[in-house]
Structure 1
Amino acid sequence: MEHSNHTRVTEFIMQGRFDHPHHQRQLFGLFLCIYIAVVMGNSLIIVSIVIHPPLHTPMYFFIANLALIDILCTSSVVPKMLENLMQEKKTISFGGCITQLFVLTSSLGTELLLLTVMSYDRYAAICYPLHYVKLMRKEICICLAVSVWAVGTINSFVSMLLVLRLDFCRPNLIQHFFCDFPTILALSCSSTYINEIMMFMADIFLAMGNFLLTTMFYCFIIITILKIQSSKGKQRAFSTCSSHLFVVTLYYSTIIYIYIQPTSSNSLDKNKMVAIMYTLVTPILNPVIYSLRNKEVKDICLLRVLALLWTP
């Protein structure tokens, strides 16, 4: 009887950080250019790795997976944000919000796991170079990649099912430019205890667990590099993991920034800006940091671009 008194929510109103009417066209152009750059840059990396045999190595196999994750992560948020920038009423349907939740959270969870797997790859390459081919053979790499995608997807799917069981009877105003679990749970008039427990467990196992594993791998890597006698050898060993270390630092710093500060209206505004980091900035930087700084990959990508431009 109580359930029948709840109003079924069919859409949510988005109140993001980009609501000034005089800036919306400029922001639309800016975010559209960034989105195109993210999709094209990461797609070029994937195509180059797939069709060029010298890049069929464990490291580039995982980089291709990371590029695909970045495309999915950005595509789950930006197209709807671009649509709302050009509309006076900024809304998203309930189904669209749930879909966005699923794709975004599965992408973020999968990326956390993948960064840890890539840390292990660098650990194996630097600490056990003679056994690297055996430790990271093709079957193991495929198994690791499938496991990463499966765990990230299952975690997001379970969280999404727990959201679908909730009733929403409060004002349907989302204080963000995309749907995420904290903002959606704040609108529910049902008990969100189970959802919060699930989120806490996901934070412990996915965020903290992967952070500790990544830190452990890099502690072993640093110890091994310090044992190398020649400075040239140290520099070469460090260069093989510097790109990944930079991306890991950038990714985890945004997560830590969001979760260590107290909740307030000011921190919520800052969180919206930080969200831009992992939905737009990081996906556009990853191809540059990981691959385009590599001369071989840069030459391959340049050849592909020239071939596309000259194709009649």
Structure 2
Amino acid sequence: MHLENALFYYSPITDRPPLRWPDGKRVAVYVGLNVEHFLLDRPSTSIWPGTADLVPDALNYGWRDYGPRVGVWRITEILDRHGVRASVLLNSDVVHHNPQIIKAGLERDWAWLAHGQTNSILQAAMDEDQERAMLTRVVDTIAGATGRRPRGWMGPGLTETFNTPALLAELGVTYVLDWTNDDQPYPLNVPGMLSVPYTVELNDLGLFARGTSGQEFVQIVKDQHEQLSADSEHGGRVMALALHPFVTGQAFRAKYLDQALAHLAAQPDTWLTTSDDIADHYRRTVQEHH
């Protein structure tokens, strides 16, 4: 007995009605900025597996903790320089532990997406009632701190249960980033719910863990934009750039993020936007007319 995917149907990108971005732009670009909180006594993303099972694990915890203390501020400065509003993938625990980051984001009108409570606890293995209570707490916490309810979701580690999209819809969330399988938004088989493109490929965590250099990162960003721009002759495309402050926020990588964003900002066919605005535009122009 094999499980078939009931959340969405197969839809080849060649068979869809054309997607048009505002002002004739071809590629909608957003920066998915992972702003996360990690628990001291749980393993999570690690730079060195040798100590990952220790409590406390000063090496890996400290590496991750560079993000809220230093890295996010360096990235914020670069985003500001290029007029980029972040789409923040926010662990709700950040509200309690790093309120200065929330304040800085509010001053910049960043978009806030719910990203679970902490990246030390994945979404799987909860029953429906547990998950509903947790998601409600996450969404309410973010809404209370930012003044608006998050419209987007990405699970910690891109994890969901079979109930997650429907439970999110109950809470007024209208799109998820977890299914990184497309260059355009598409509807899920949950009323009112979209999938919006995110990326595990154009993602600093994966790229730099594999030894990608700063110069190679800039070239990868350019190559991604160039191909999506060519593809968009047949309908607009989405380019997500996924960043983690403890990775790209490192001093020796900062100038390469600066160069990558300078390139994207200089492209006349690029709509530098947020995942919220991408979802809204798709809903308004594609879903309502088909």
Please indicate the TM-score interval, normalised by the length of the shorter structure: under 0.3
The structure whose residues are more often helix, as a share, is 1
The structure whose residues are more often strand, as a share, is 2
TM superposition score normalised by structure 1: 0.26
